[in-house]
Every structure is written in C-alpha cells, then in structure tokens.
Amino acid sequence: MSSPLLLSGATAILPAAAFHDLFALLRQEGFQPVGPTIRNGHLVLDCLDGPDGLPRGWTTEAEAGRFRLQHRQDTAYWGFNLGQESWKKFLFPARLPVVTAAKHHGAISYAPAANHVPPYAFIGVRACELAAIWIQDRILLSGPVIDPHYAACRQAALIVAVNCTEADDACFCASLGTGPAATAGFDLALTELCGEGGHFFLVQAGSERGERLLAHLPQQPVQEGQWQQAQTLVAAAARSQTRSLATDGLPGLLYDRTEHPQWDDVAARCLSCGNCALVCPTCFCFSMAEETDLENVTASRWRLWDVCHNLDHSYIHGGWLRPSSKARYRQWLTHKLGAWLDQFGCLGCTGCGRCLVWCPAAIDLTAELQALRKFPPKE
C-alpha cells in the first residue's frame, strides 16, 4: 500500500465536460451524490446536484491550527484537499436516534429507531479517507458487535475516489502508505488532469459496479502521455509532504512512556476541547443520551459523538478515570497510535492531518510522537 503509483485495471479518459454524465448516471442508478461543496464560505460535505456544486477553482491551505480556502489560478474541480468534515458524518452520524421506550399500564415497550439510509454516492473520497473507512469497517462491521446503521449505509454507498495531485502542509499519508493514490476500496477513482493538454479525468474502476458504470460513460482511450502525467502528479503530491509519522516501535514505545515529561508539556497546551477526536475520520467513541417527556412515560435514546477529552467519558462507578488534560491526551494518542494496533490490528491514524489542522492550539501529533521518542533527560 506504500506505493504512490496508480493502479492499472479498467481505465479510461473522461473529458471534464462529460463530468455531468457521471452525476446523471449515478442519479439514474438511484444514488444520492454527496461530496465537498462550499456553504456559507466554508468547505463542507453535503448533497451535490452535479459537478457545479463542487468547489471548482478553489484550493485549501491547511497547516497546524489554521485552514483557509483560496482561489486557484486554474479551473480544476479537485484542486483542494480535506476540510473539517469527513465521511464519518454520513456513515457514523454525530447524532443518531437509537430506541424509544413507552410505558403503558405499567408495561414498557421498546421500538428501535427506524433510520432511513439513502444510497449515497460519495464523490471525492481521498486515499487517506478510504483508509479511514477501511479502519472503521474493521471496528464497526467486523467486531463482535456490528453497528446496523453503519452497515446499512456502507452497503448502500458507492465510492468515487479522487487521487490527490497536490498535498497540504498538514498531510502525511505518504509516510503511512495510505495515500495519496487510492489503491482499494472504491468503485471508481479519478485523477484530474488540468493543464495545457486539456481538462480530463483518468478514470479507474475498482469494482464490478465501477466497471459497469464506466462502460456507460462517454470515454476515450488513455494516451500514454496522460497516464504518465497522472503518475507524475500523484508522485509529486507524495514527495511534497513535509510531515511524516514514523511507526517503528509502536505500540510498545507508547506503553513504555506513560510517564514521559512530554505529556505534561502537551497538557499545558491542550484545551481538552475534543476537536482532534471529533474531526478524526477513525474516532468512533460515542455516548448515549436519554430524553424523557414530562409525564415520564416515553423516553428516547440517542447516540452522540463523544470524545476521550471529555471528563464524563471516563466516568465509571465511583469516579472519573481521567480527571486531568494530561491523562486525556495520553489516552487519545496512546489509543490512536498504540492500543489500536493491539485492538484492531491497525493504526487509528491515516495521515489525513485533520487533528492538527482543526486543533485551535495547533498541537501536531507527529511532533508529539517525535518528542515522545526522545528519552527524558536522566535526573
């Protein structure tokens, strides 16, 4: 998975002018396209009527603690990288009704919430996000308990991946082998070629469904130069990444350093606001909230995104396991980059960089891990 080279397989060239046909085809097949768009001046994921809804001609500047949208010189559809929101928004919603209960003549009846899941077509899933979905699949589909909403949404969804041809300052997928090229887990993958040679998408099919869709699109054969151009762009996106996360020694390294002075250092900067975990595309913690009516005869239960940076997340009978910011940040990082490996056989990080971009305090987990690698000075 570490090669930034593109997959071979069913490939074709789709002229940018025919991008509308892909959306029309998806709609015809019953899918609701969702993807990046600009709402109220912000990059979000939302329903798309067609390619005109995409942030065409925009780019992103993302670094630790700072994010900006900027106009581009060209009219590329995919000249931006990640925003705050990930596909978790749809697959593992922030607020989901679970069950309602009603008391009638002393008997209590329960009704599971009927959550309608539309068949989404996720448009513009980046390689690091495919990796995040792969991780959440392991947790929510392959564990002892299956999340029914996730399973239904996942099964119905079609994925159109987009290979990154540029990287943001926050990206470090190349060091984790999760990007910038999509290698698996998609139906179609696009690489955008936008320059003097014209405006095209190199399209690859990653599934039978993708191949079938591709066959219905007004395609052209791939020219040798176009293939080379796509390869070069994606390889450059990998090379341009300045951040990296070295995984050697994990998870033991973190287990051995629970008392490292770096935890105090980061706790002094950490706001315990939970933003890192909330924007993380793999974090899946939740809490349950109940609401009753005034008469106390009906109750509803909701599942809400929760984070280990909240005090109540560590509440057990008699008290809280993690009262300090230090204990909470240590829990988050040690789980993400350590215990996750023991628990799920993979890291909890895909190198998307959201946790460091959307941290108001600009805490960068790659720098924190680097600092933790250094042994504390001997007393």
Partner 1 sequence: MGKRLKVAVWKFASCDGCQLSLLDLEDHLLALADHLDIAYFLEASSAVTPGPYDLSLVEGSITTPADAKRIKRVRQLSKLVVAIGACATAGGIQALRNFADIKEYIPVVYAHPEYIKTLDQSTPIAQHIKVDLELPGCPINKYQLLEAVKALLHGRRPRPASESVCTTCKRQGIICVLVAEGVPCLGPVTETGCGALCPAYHRGCYGCFGPKENPNTSALAACFRRLGVAEADIIRLFRTFNAGAEAFRQESLAHEKNH
DSSP-assigned beta bridge partners for residue 35: 46
Residue 95 binds partner 1 (CB under 8 A): yes
Find out whether 7 and 203 touch, Cβ atoms under 8 Å. no
Binding mask 249-268 for partner 1 (x = CB under 8 A): -------------------x
- Residue 141 CB coordination number (10 Å): 13
Q: Shortest gap between Cβ of 307 and partner 1 (angstroms)? A: 7
Binding mask 56-85 for partner 1 (x = CB under 8 A): ---------xxxxx-------------xxx
Contacts of 120 (CB under 8 A, 6+ apart): 31, 32, 33, 34, 90, 153, 156, 157, 158
Residue 232's SS3 state is helix
Q: With CB under 8 A as the rule, give the number of residues binding partner 1.
A: 49
Residue 288 binds partner 1 (CB under 8 A): no
CA distances from 261 to 71, 329, 366, 370 (A): 43, 13, 17, 13
Task: State the pairing for strand pair 32-39/315-316.
Answer: unpaired
Residue 41 binds partner 1 (CB under 8 A): yes
Tokens of 232: 């070069």
Among 221, 312, 375, 379, binds partner 1 (CB under 8 A): 312
Among 99, 361, 367, 371, binds partner 1 (CB under 8 A): 361
Instruction: Single out the segment in contact with partner 1 by CB under 8 A; choices: 141-149, 185-193, 248-256, 309-317.
Output: 309-317
For residue 323, is the peptide bond before it cis, meaning its omega torsion is within 30 degrees of 0? Answer: no
Contacts of 290 (CB under 8 A, 6+ apart): 299, 300, 301, 302
| Residue closer to partner 1 (CB basis): 254 or 278 | 278
Instruction: Single out the segment in contact with partner 1 by CB under 8 A; choices: 13-21, 101-109, 113-121, 357-365.
Output: 357-365
Residue 314 binds partner 1 (CB under 8 A): no
Among 310, 314, 331, 343, binds partner 1 (CB under 8 A): 310
Question: What residues line the site for partner 1 (CB under 8 A)?
Answer: 40-44, 65-69, 83-85, 89, 94-95, 268-275, 278-279, 289-296, 304-305, 307, 310-312, 323-325, 357-362
